Structure 1
Amino acid sequence: MHAHGGPDAFGVPRWDFSTNANACGPCPVALAAVQAADARRYPDPVYTDLRSALAAFHHVAVERIVFAASASEFITRLSAAVALAGGRRVWLPALAYGDYGRAARAWHLQAVATPETADLLWLCEPASPMGGAEAWAREVAGQGGVVVLDRAYEPLRLSGACSLGADALDRVWQLWSPNKALGMTGVRGAYAIAPLQGQPLAQTLAVMAPSWPLGAHAVAMLTAWVQADVRQWLADSREQLAVWKRAQIALLENAGWRCLPSDANYFCARAPQNVDEVLDVARLRAKGIKLRETTSLGLPQHWRLSVQPPDAQAALSAALTTQQENSP
């Protein structure tokens, strides 16, 4: 079973620290656009207007825009394309989203330790689960294989800057999935920007795509994504998230947790040893609180917590205090 944050068999957590969606969301303008989408009809199968809007927003040629049903779908389709073209090796960050490795294994791509030997290479900034820069980003971006920079959390960056400059970005695939930034993870839809020399692979990916990878609701979300009022809402939400993040880190550190540095709207933390041994995740979940343990992301004995508003932080603090008081 794939490990993910968010709703589970027990329903929607009231206080959800397990998913990295923007806790200020959903974005009102984007939500209204999705609610008004015409679900009675197919979208334009080549997404002419949306493709033009995204290309203009990113200042790239329209043929560089490649649509995907979701970031995970793109990860799988790109891995398949590389394997079918004769690729045999993949390079993965030591700590990374599990779908990179799962897609590689599904297509029998062998993981290698050195990027220069890989046919497909994955980067993510801000990285998950740590929320910072990729240590090897510049070196990996200069390799000869297919290099992908997953930018799912770039719109939720609260500090720092991307490791890659404009020239390097033009040499890699950029994968964008705005639903997290808009606080609308239930709406699936993503796109990639092909590198300047990536047209042959972009055409292959288009041929491999299902008909209408984006439904009407995804088109509405992505169309809203580039609008000025949505961009302003996102900028305002980053300011609010930064305030909440400082408070959340202080709360955990005062409780003895060790919080690791992060540039994003989430961070990793380790509970104090006495709590680590008795941290009752099931009991927390029963109280409506869900955390994300990071073993599946390559970081055992830590928890990734998204930044949440004060009421959620208060609930977490009360639950952790109760557990500490009841520990043997």
Structure 2
Amino acid sequence: MSPSRAPAAPMLARTPVRPHGGPDARGAARWDFSTNANAAGPCPAADAALRQVDATRYPDPSYQRLRERLAAWHGVAPARILPAASASEFIQRITVVGARLAPGPVVVPEQAYGDYAAAARAHGRTLCISGQEGPRAGQRPTLRWCCDPSSPLGLDAPPPADLGQCTTVLDAAYAPLRLHGRGTWAGAARDAVFELISPNKALGLPGVRGAYAIAPREGRAPGADWVEALVAAEPSWPLGAHAVAMLETWVSDGAQHWLARQRDTLRGWKEQLLAVLQDAGAVVWPSVTPFVCAQLPPGVTVDALRERDIAVRDTSSFGLPGWVRLNAMPPDALCALAEAIGALRQPVSSSPRSTKGNA
């Protein structure tokens, strides 16, 4: 008698891909306004470092040299540097570690990157909107997300007044791309939070995944005692050789000087982008970053633009339905956007004259 065949494992439905900028199922759009990556990149120094990577060897699993280099640049102890496979990986990791160490709701900004909420839901945590927590018996928030400059709006987001009450993560992904003003997160506020840094956008290399967090200074800062658990939950070799090269280059003088020069370029491109949108009659939200959110004129939709090989980011998943996010791009891309909007925009019909009182 032949052995019975094991029953086939049921097919599990794949979780739908979360909304993101960049390539879609059709590939990359020729004119991609949908990501927040530095369109003046890639950074030549980082690009050269990536080309020299020896991918035949594992990186040092402790990342000792990298952590010391990052720590020296930030002026912190190396023990406070926590490597992460990406910002999204760290979002998941601190959410699940926090659920074990300090169960409670997670606070997210009203308009925010969807991965904060997705991680909370995946680990069965209640969500609260920042400023709308309200008093709940036994429901004091134990993890809070901040982002400065904010996403998707690119606005200043000053630190909460009660940093000492809740473990807080400051997502600083867009701080290197700030074009106007200065942030309000001073040293004391930064020392009280986990600061999450993912420089691939600023370097114009979003396809290279790699990030790190700076843990709160030891003391009374909420979450300062989470570091050991976060390290224990870290996957083996979270950073590949290419990510190590990118992060080492990130804190070099060459990369920082290049980025400072490119901010001037991005300011010019942003002014041109605003002119295109304003000429088209779009409603534009001001920002301190190269990217802006806008309500496009009737007829100009995300799908219609994509058919013309132009990608913009629908902001519904950020909690901002009816708007799109666009990144500052070079002049040829801006010309393509202006032409597409001009072709798609529906003419505004004049309102009929009122006949009231003429009957």
TM-score range, shorter chain: over 0.9
CA distance in 2, matches of 1:200, 1:182: 32
Q: Contact conserved, 1:179 with 1:189, CA < 8 A, in 2? A: yes
The residue number in structure 2 matching 1:97 is 113
Unaligned runs of 5+ in 1: none
Q: Alignment partner for residue 250 of structure 2, among 225, 235, 257?
A: 225
Displacement of 1:325 in angstroms is: 5.9
Q: Alignment partner for residue 241 of structure 2, among 208, 216, 233?
A: 216
The residue number in structure 2 matching 1:55 is 71
Q: Alignment partner for residue 122 of structure 2, among 75, 91, 106?
A: 106
CA distance in 2, matches of 1:242, 1:315: 19
Q: Alignment partner for residue 329 of structure 2, among 305, 308, 319?
A: 308
Superposition pairs of residues 34-183 of structure 1, within 5 angstroms = 34-112=50-128, 113-114=132-133, 117-134=140-157, 137-140=159-162, 142-183=163-204
**Compared with structure 1, are the counterparts of its residues 280 and 271 closer, same or farther at alpha carbon in structure 2 (3 Å cutoff)?**
closer
The residue number in structure 1 matching 2:353 is none
- Secondary structure in structure 1 of the residue aligned to 2:165: coil
Displacement of 1:67 in angstroms is: 0.6
- Match of 1:7, as an amino acid? P
Q: TM-score, normalised by structure 2?
A: 0.87
Q: Contact conserved, 2:210 with 2:239, CA < 8 A, in 1? A: yes
CA distance in 2, matches of 1:178, 1:152: 7
- Identity across matched positions, percent: 48
- Match of 1:127, as an amino acid? S
User: Does 1 or 2 have the higher relative contact order (CA < 8 Å, sep 6+)?
Assistant: 1
- Match of 2:263, as an amino acid? R
CA distance in 1, matches of 2:170, 2:157: 10
Q: Contact conserved, 2:164 with 2:192, CA < 8 A, in 1? A: no
Displacement of 1:139 in angstroms is: 2.1
Superposition pairs of residues 195-210 of structure 1, within 5 angstroms = 195-197=216-218, 198-210=223-235
Larger Rg: 2
Displacement of 1:222 in angstroms is: 0.2
CA distance in 2, matches of 1:211, 1:199: 22
Unaligned runs of 5+ in 2: 1-15, 350-359
Q: TM-score, normalised by structure 1?
A: 0.95
Displacement of 1:285 in angstroms is: 1.3
- Secondary structure in structure 1 of the residue aligned to 2:161: helix
Root mean square deviation, CA, Å: 1.6
The size of the alignment, in residue pairs, is 322
Superposition pairs of residues 259-270 of structure 1, within 5 angstroms = 259-270=284-295
Q: Contact conserved, 1:175 with 1:190, CA < 8 A, in 2? A: yes
Displacement of 1:97 in angstroms is: 0.1
Displacement of 1:131 in angstroms is: 0.1
